[in-house]
Structure formats: C-alpha cells, structure tokens
Chains A and B, each alone.
Chain A
Amino acid sequence: MRILNGVIARIVGAGIALSAYDGVASAQVPTYPSDRINMTVAFAAGGFVDTFARIIGQKLNEKWGKAVTVENKAGAGGNTAATIVANAKPDGLTLLVTSTAIAINETLYKKRDYTLDQLVPVAIAVSSPETIATHPSKPSNLKDYLSWAKKDEITFASAGVGSGSHLATEYFMKRLAKQPASHIPFRGGALAVQAALGNQVDLVASSFGIIPQIADGKLKGLAVASEARVAAMPDVPTYTEAGFPFVAESWVAVIAPAKTPPAIVEQLNAAINEIVNEPQTREKLLGMGYQLHSRSAAQVATYLNDEVAKWGEMVRTVGVTVE
C-alpha cells in the first residue's frame, strides 16, 4: 500500500508540477509521508485558519492515505503554535497552519520563543482583503464618508489590538486619509461586526468575516484593500479605485520547520495548490470571498518576506508593541 501510495503521489505530484508552474522541477520523495501528519493550528477551532486546516487535512488524507490530525494550539497571538513547530522534527510530518499574524508578530511582539529563520513557508494559497464597512445610515462611499467625518475623531471596531484589521485600518486613517480615528478593540471579529450592525461604532474593520453582512446590505462596504474587487461583494470598490492606493490582505499560511527537505516542501506545496484548485473546493472558497493564489514554494518565501516588511511598517506607524 505504502509503495502504491508513493507511486500515486509521485504521478499526481508530477502532473501538478507540470501544469501549475513553468519549469519548476518538483522532486518527489517516495517515502513521504511515512506516517501521520500533524497540523498544528495557531488559533482556536472554528475560525477560518482552523477551517482551512481541516479542509486541507481531509484532502491530504484522501490523497496520501495517511492520517492527518489537526491540533489547535491557540495562544500568544499564534506564537505558541509557531514555537512548537519551530522546534519540531523537520520531517514534514509536523506543519504549522497560521495567519498574517506570523508576519505581524515579527514586529509586534518584543519577545518570541522562536525566530522566523526556524521556519520555512510551504504554501500561502488563500487570502481575503482587509475591508472597512459602516452602518447603512452613514455615507456609503469612502470619499463622502471622509468628508462627512470632517476630521472629527471617528471610532472603528476590530477583532483586537494588533490584528491585521486594526493595523491596516489605523495605518490607512493615519497615513493615507489623515483622518483621526480611535480604535475600539473587541474580542474577535464577530463582536466587532455586531457593534457596527447596531450602529454602536462609526466603522468596522474586518476581512472575510464581514462579507455576509455586506452582501445582504446590512452594512455598507466602503473599500477593500486588494488589487481587484472581491467576487462575493462586487459593489465594494478597492482602496485604489477610491483614490488611496493601498493593499493589505489577510492570508492563511502552511509552514514547516526550516530544515525540512526542500523536496518535501515542494511536494506539500504542489499538493495544497492542487487541493485549493479542485473545482469543488475552489468554488466554495471563492463563494466565501477568498482570493486564491497558486504560488510555488520559492514565491511563497519571497511573499512572506515582503509581508513581514509591509506589516512591520504598519505596526511601527500605528505604534503598538506587545511585551
């Protein structure tokens, strides 16, 4: 069985390598995975990072015939899980599934028990842009909104201090819009959205979590921080269209210990990209408002570096640190 699975993985893997990228030779490791794969999720069960891990885990299991367990190790803004995987055996059997937090925490946290050098990114295949929205009783496009606010301090809700939504929005207000805004942190994005639904705050900043309310007209989306509009809420313009070139996206990353053999990283990268692009999964993810990206392992590494720099700049501008 093991040999057969290996052969199948090799054939499938080779097929992906040819179709997805131009000329990236993808060496397969016939013995991988030799045992159960453990995905350590940096956040609690139920969130998108967790959901994504469980979707991928299930499909990897179907693909390779090895059990895939998902373990939630929430804590310290994702650092707990990162530390565990940074110190795990680099055999590709222990993987970290985390979010933009891993890029943000490089600058946000003064002290961490791991360094990014101890990890190697495998895949960053889905993202959702940071979005701002407001109660329908308020002006419904960004330009009108800002002139309505007239430089008086407005309040905006987010999932918490140091969350991508908080940083991106405060950075935008401070640097680009020059609009005074005071951040109201909530424990989790859902409660922030609730505050906006009830018109308790002037604005809410969130990523994918806000799409259903915008799609249903319960909230008005002002801008999305991506290159192109989001299919699930086509009426919401990008920041660039609204006159403020600005891109900030929230993503989910699968990451392995740094010394994991490159061939295994390539194999996992190919498998995850393939799973995300399966018609059924693809449709689901798109419907939820996600944007999909097929990036090779090398592209993922470059992307992560750029993101660390970009979020670092936002963290410094906003001026928050966690000891």
Chain B
Amino acid sequence: MRKTTLTLALLASAGLAHATPADPAKSSVKFVFTQMNVPVEGQFKKFAADVAFDNAKLDASKVSIAVDLAAADAGSSDANQAMQMKEWFNTSAFPKATFTATQFKSLGAGKFQAIGQFALKGKTANLTVPFTVKPDAAKGQWFEGSFPLSRLAWKVGEGEWSDVGAVADAVQVKFKLYVPK
C-alpha cells in the first residue's frame, strides 16, 4: 500500500519533471534601480526560464531561470556599457545569473514562495521569491512577482559605486513569465 503511494508520487513527479520553457515574447524580467533617488527601470532582454509547476504538486515542482546579463538594458547606452564592467556585472567572467528552485510554499489565494539558489557574479546563496500564479483560458500559466534584491550582497556595483547614496542597495526585480501548457 505504502509502496503504491510512493510509486504514484514518483510517477507524478516524473510527469512534472518535464519542464516547459516560458514564452519569451510574453515574458519579461525587469528591474528598477534608484540612482540619486531617481527610480530608473531597466530590463533583461534575454533569459530562459523552464517551469514545471503544479500547485497541487508543489513537492514535484521545479523552476529554473537563467538571465543573460550582457543583454541588460539599464536605460541608456552609457549605463549599458557600464553594466558589463568589473564593478557591476563583470559579464566576461560571469555572463549569467541563475535561479533554481525546487522548494515551494503556498501562501494561499494564488500566492506562493519559491525557495531556491540564486547565483550572481560568482556568489550563490538562498533566495526566496514571492509570486502569483494565474491560469489562462489556453491552460497556460502566468507567473508574476516582484521583490527587492540587495545589489551589494552580490557585489553589483563595487568601489565608488558601493555608495548607496548614489545608487541605492535595493533593486526591485519584477518578473512576468508565461508558460504555455
């Protein structure tokens, strides 16, 4: 009896492990940073997200996102070039930021938390990302969330740029992913 349940669970998770890539045309990863108290919105134009999410099978769900940091648009060509530099993303050494979550918590009312590993600029640490899930008529899923990230915790903006008076530590990350069925 126990064995059957276990087998079923394994089967179910095997079914879910088939991750679906998010539709890049409908998805976005944006960020808002604050320089001299001026909020500036930018976005990561290239990223890949693979999602296997079922709110009835959170244990078997899995999300992984890889963001191409070289394709960051920080609002101006000067800033975009600066983003590539050592002090900021150092993209030649660390071209990607990744987030992989296998642990999920339901907060009710369509709200969830993904607890996973976030790797950026050579540092990997735990990160909890809040999000909501909304199904659409085509049985696809919209994942949306927004959370503050400490840029200094991942050494984004070193040297003179570690001055939080010039660029605030908290960078708001806003993502929207559409995962078709």
Q: Do A and B bind each other?
A: no
